[in-house]
Chain A
């Protein structure tokens, strides 16, 4: 019996330089992160290219399923980063024209490759709904391509940034109105005042910057409440919750609609004393209609002021 064993060697495939794709191609990425809040942008970058010998880009268009609010635009500049790390824009097209759901840029320079940024300014009509986007491009050789992004759910929440509360002056905070009132305006809006801001430097205890329900007079020393301001609002202190949209710091933490749905504030007290900068409080209004997160951007012991930013969701 003869056993014949064959050996064969594997030859590595020769490395070949990859061939570029032919024809018009595109790609898209969503750049913005976190909840899609009405009044903010959803940002995309849309890349289009075709081989130089084949032709040049003619136009680029984005179609949204719900028309963007005024301020929605497709960038008409291509950017490169210079030696100093700064993004420099080069005009490659006419300023974008938005008609209802479509935003279009016609290229004005001969270019076979370009990446354009698209900013969709979220309209009120989109609140709580889903939005999808179709990015498309046309080239001079008659080709067209498209790329669909989404659907993206638009948040139901509201946001208000940088409200300044000051002790014994503009110290009445309304979650319903997302506004700050002084005592005269507080009388006119008595049924909307949820919290009172006060600053007290009392020796022996740490009171400092505080948010207290009008109903809890024990923690409102030296405050004379306007008539009718009597609510008891649930307040629960939070630490290190630097929501990116509110704090605008380097922390990538986002409060979304679902956080307001799951938070349990039924046993929470109705006051929070000694609140600090970069901390915050979860709030539920007396009627249970709104839940909010009030983030403390900064406090000032000299001017006795506190700057807050609020995210709020109507839960009832």
Chain B
């Protein structure tokens, strides 16, 4: 990817798909670009071991580690972290993804 002059560095959207490539989110994710957190609630019964995250980033930014396939989000005690790197490669922000499973009523 090209290195540009952009210094913006944030996640604009977060999607989470199950093994059938349908969304497992119950509502829009809550992305806090200051606290650097992404909070999402997933359906009761979601299999957390086989999820496909999709990050939407600001123009020219890239993500580390790259998403290359399914991701195991089942370790809720150790939430996964993803670093966004700005277009000019100077700014790095690490987001933590918190997943909450809908509780059974």
Residues of A within 8 A of B (CB): 202-207, 210, 219, 236-239, 267-269, 271, 273-274, 279
Contacts and interface: CB of A to CB of B under 8 A. Distances in A.
Contacts of B19: 236-238, 268
Contact of A271 (B22, B45, B72, B102): B45
B18 interface: yes
Given A239-B20, A268-B50, 20 more contacts: A202-B104, A202-B105, A203-B105, A204-B105, A205-B43, A205-B102, A205-B105, A207-B44, A210-B45, A236-B20, A236-B50, A237-B19, A238-B20, A239-B21, A267-B49, A267-B50, A268-B19, A269-B47, A269-B49, A269-B50
Interface string B41-54: 00111010110000
Contacts of B72: 267
B44 A205 contact: yes
Q: Per DSSP, are chain A's interface residues mostly helix, strand or loop, or mixed? A: loop
Contacts of B105: 202-205
A271 B47 CA distance: 9
Interface residues of B, number: 16
A274 B18 CA distance: 13
A35 B22 CA distance: 28
Contacts of B44: 205-207, 273
19 contacts: A202-B104, A202-B105, A204-B102, A205-B102, A205-B105, A206-B43, A210-B45, A236-B19, A236-B20, A236-B50, A237-B22, A238-B19, A239-B21, A267-B49, A267-B50, A267-B72, A268-B19, A269-B50, A273-B44
A204 B101 CA distance: 12
B105 to A, nearest CB: 4
Contacts of B70: 267
With most chain B CB atoms within 10 A of its CB, the pick from A202, A207, A238, A269 is: A269
Contacts of B104: 202, 205
B29 to A, nearest CB: 19
B45 A205 contact: yes
